[in-house]
Structure 1
Amino acid sequence: MTDVMRSEAGGRGLRGKVEERLGRGNRSPLGLWFWEIDRVLLLLALLLIGIGLVAVAAASPASAVRYSDTAKSFPPMYYFYRQAIWVFLSIPVMLVVSMMPTLVARRFALTGAGIMLVLLAIVPFIGDEKNGARRWIGLGFTQFQPSEFLKPFFVVAIAWLLSLRARDPDLPLFPITMALTGLIGGLLMLQPDFGQTVVFVTVWVTMLLIAGTSPKVIGALGGVGLGGIVAAYFLYNTARMRIDAFLFPDPDKAMSDHYQTDMAHAVITGGGFTGTGPGGGIVKFKLPEAHTDYIYSVIGEEFGLIACMIIAALFLALVVRVFVKLLDEEDAFRLFAASGLAVQFGLQALINMAVNTGIAPSKGMTLPFISYGGSSMIALSIGFGLLLAFTRRNPYLKRSPYSVRLNRP
């Protein structure tokens, strides 16, 4: 009995120390962060990152074989080891950004948007060329893609501009945000990067819709977008080649976009519902970019279509969680910024999965937190850190879903 009592006392003592350090009465920055952060969102992000490490480990041997030659040979787990390093660096970045107060996070994002916009403008001139595109700036040991970092910063910048309507309803925010989006789209087309252009424009239109822009304006933008795609087909070689390769495949062209999507479909269905098991995939060795753009297909072959459905459900749960949490948000800026970041995150995942399943043409877009890539991992961690910062809530603050006020920047 004495041993039991001592054990219970020890347990209460341990719990007491934890409650003392991270209890709701703790007003330290770490204590406030622990109780204000959305721990479900954080758990979903960490779960996706963990799945990503397993997926990169599965895809690494195929990519190592494909990119090895007589001059340079990569070990089978080369990409996995590098991705583990990027994850080790990215998680602390995400946590630090999530601890920023709203004002600090906004200033950080606006400053980053300005810097990345300048870098995006010079990429076509100094960037490293890969597969006929200049999207990366070489840093010696790795490559840096400004457009990946600009995406979350762009969302915050648009959110800040839209939130200014409460101060001055006469501000021409629609043409200002349209000009900014058009500038970024033009710079991306120079690289060329049609897929990222679609993401920026779609996120901008969605944020306008959330901000209460007239349905007539949204409809007009839809018409302009349709006309833009038609014009791009006739005037923009990259868009025309992508659309032609997808709609009118050439069976004699082994490395066409349609070849890649067809091969991705063959890989993702190669394992059936339960998969071949870790390391058991064979068709993945024929797949270009198995560790980046088509990692979702590798997951399908080795872990089954059930695993693919679970991953899709995790992305959906993350986006839904954000929007449910924002139902009673009273701050216009936080509402626009968090919803825009959730849309950007979910849209990128949706496009990647659509390409892997053959629904959409190849766009060279990674699957968030799962695909291999240093720029992508760090940029997504910054973006998700901002999302966590803007969804932090005082647990004692009572809110009503019917008292939303969009009158604060």
Structure 2
Amino acid sequence: MNQIVNNLKGDRWIWLIVILLSLISLLSVYSAIGSLAYKRGVGAESILIKHLAIMIGGLVLMYISHKLDYRYYAGISKLLMFITIPLLLYTLVFGAKLNEASRWIAIPGTGLSFQTSDMAKLALITYLARVLSRKQENIKDVKNSFIPIISSVCLVFVLIAPANLSTGLMLFGVSILLLIIGRISIKQIAVVCGAGLVLLVIMLATGVGGRSGTHSSRIDVFLHPEKADPAKTFQSDHAKIAIASGGFFGKGPGKSSEVNYLPEAYSDEIYAIIVEEYGMFGGIVLVGIYLFLLYRCIKIVTRAPKAFGALLAAGLSFSLTIQAFANMAVAVGLGPVTGVPLPFVSMGGTSMLFTSIAFGIILSVSRDIDEPKGAEEEISSGNKIVVGQISPLTP
């Protein structure tokens, strides 16, 4: 055990966060899969074991990705983008459909599916971190810097948004935050936002992907729930009932009643089940865990010795925390219904795996922060090493 712990490098607090989220996930998923097990005609334990296997696989990927020097991800980002764009296009046209949305590619002969938007998030963030860090010296150059950046952001948004608007908008927002950190001018950022708005309006007006009616209906139900069909407010109503009935300390583990009514209780609405069983106290603790994750990641960003590492950690941490708070906001009625899972807590396949890789990359960046400390120790021991203070935006 000591040997395993010693091999875990990087920010130890983030490792602790991962362990806590893993435990919360196992407890809450086991409570939420009763109705799913009944529909499938299997035992809840078999579904939990599958979830545990995916989680262990994710932890293995996290360990491997955190051991790899984060600088290698600059080259990997080009390959990821090269693979992701065709996969997104294929998914949009030929992907497996669920609730009128083409989000998955079925893997023949396995019974498994692959959600390409999860890979797209990782690909775009790593690619933007690479481009922004390498273009710092001529970051104001429209042709050589701005055009490649806006092209990649808009292309990925166009391919994701028709079937998964919430994920597309969140990824677009993370991209804007990265552009701000990467010193892109306000005028250019305004152009990117304008381009994104135009693409969104065109998509909704033309009904690309066949989901414009669903998007507008969800927004209308959120803004005017009193006028909506009760069938359309069923999910949000029962999420609110679950949260309200939880009280401060909750009903206790496995004692949720709304788990029998909430669709996707083990995924999209898992926060409502957590609050019902563990109360407002449990909900606040979970919010605190994600806020602490953001705090630790910001510390990594500010101390990272290279621009690429800082931008990489910033983009991935913003993506994880924005997704987490979007999921929780929907559960408490602060946003329209979406299909966004709670990172590293909701039951899922590719979402869990790519979230694990994102954690691993952040940990890889945090490993690099320890190197200047080692150099400083050599200075104090008399060795002639000069250590300069490097700005986080040094390429």
- The answer for the alignment partner of 1:7 in structure 2 is none
1:168 and 1:271 mapped to 2: Cα distance?
54
- The answer for the alignment partner of 1:205 in structure 2 is 176
1:223 and 1:128 mapped to 2: Cα distance?
32
* 1:48 paired to 2:48: no
Task: Give deviations 1:269-326, integer Å, cap 9, x for gaps.
Answer: 2211111111111122110100010000010111111101101110010011111222
- The answer for the alignment partner of 1:147 in structure 2 is 117
1:401 and 1:283 mapped to 2: Cα distance?
58
Q: Which of the numbers 195, 214, 220 marks the counterpart of 1:244?
A: 220
* 1:174 paired to 2:140: no
Where does 1:10-21 land on structure 2 (aligned, <5 Å)?
none
Cα distance change on mapping 1:229 and 1:123 into 2, 3 Å: closer
User: How many residues end up aligned between the 2 structures?
Assistant: 374
Where does 1:244-263 land on structure 2 (aligned, <5 Å)?
244-249=220-225, 253-256=229-232, 258-263=233-238
> For residue 320 of structure 2, what is the amino acid of its counterpart?
F
* 1:103 paired to 2:68: no
* 1:184 paired to 2:153: no
The 10-residue stretch of structure 1 (229-238 or 369-378) with the greater mean CA deviation from structure 2: 229-238
Q: Which of the numbers 248, 267, 278 marks the counterpart of 1:273?
A: 248
Where does 1:330-409 land on structure 2 (aligned, <5 Å)?
330-392=305-367, 393=369, 394=371, 395-398=373-376, 403-404=390-391, 406-408=393-395
Superposition deviation, residue 60 in structure 1: 1.1
- The answer for the alignment partner of 1:25 in structure 2 is none
For the residue of structure 2 that corresponds to 1:172, the secondary structure is: helix
> For residue 183 of structure 1, what is the amino acid of its counterpart?
L
The question of whether the paired residues in 1 share the 8 Å contact of 2:326 and 2:340 is answered with yes
Superposition deviation, residue 405 in structure 1: 5.4
2:313 and 2:240 mapped to 1: Cα distance?
33
Cα distance change on mapping 1:252 and 1:216 into 2, 3 Å: closer
> For residue 117 of structure 2, what is the amino acid of its counterpart?
S
Superposition deviation, residue 112 in structure 1: 2.5
The question of whether the paired residues in 2 share the 8 Å contact of 1:105 and 1:389 is answered with no
The 10-residue stretch of structure 1 (278-287 or 390-399) with the greater mean CA deviation from structure 2: 390-399
> For residue 179 of structure 2, what is the amino acid of its counterpart?
L
**RMSD value, Cα:** 2.6
For the residue of structure 2 that corresponds to 1:391, the secondary structure is: helix
1:250 and 1:155 mapped to 2: Cα distance?
40
Counting aligned pairs with the same residue, the percent is 27
Cα distance change on mapping 1:154 and 1:269 into 2, 3 Å: same
> For residue 349 of structure 1, what is the amino acid of its counterpart?
A
2:12 and 2:155 mapped to 1: Cα distance?
37
Superposition deviation, residue 253 in structure 1: 3.3
> For residue 343 of structure 1, what is the amino acid of its counterpart?
F
Where does 1:8-157 land on structure 2 (aligned, <5 Å)?
34=8, 36-65=9-38, 68=39, 72-139=40-107, 140-157=110-127
Superposition deviation, residue 406 in structure 1: 2.4
* 1:284 paired to 2:253: no
Superposition deviation, residue 403 in structure 1: 4.5
> For residue 280 of structure 2, what is the amino acid of its counterpart?
L
The question of whether the paired residues in 2 share the 8 Å contact of 1:109 and 1:153 is answered with yes
Superposition deviation, residue 174 in structure 1: 2.2
> For residue 60 of structure 1, what is the amino acid of its counterpart?
I
1:204 and 1:73 mapped to 2: Cα distance?
43
Cα distance change on mapping 1:405 and 1:202 into 2, 3 Å: closer
The question of whether the paired residues in 1 share the 8 Å contact of 2:150 and 2:192 is answered with no
The question of whether the paired residues in 1 share the 8 Å contact of 2:266 and 2:346 is answered with yes
Task: Give deviations 1:108-129, integer Å, cap 9, x for gaps.
Answer: 3432232122211101233211
Q: Which runs of 5+ in 1 are unaligned?
A: 1-13, 23-29
The 10-residue stretch of structure 1 (392-401 or 122-131) with the greater mean CA deviation from structure 2: 392-401
Task: Give deviations 1:137-165, integer Å, cap 9, x for gaps.
Answer: 11233211011122122111000011111
Superposition deviation, residue 43 in structure 1: 1.4
1:62 and 1:263 mapped to 2: Cα distance?
15
* 1:158 paired to 2:134: no
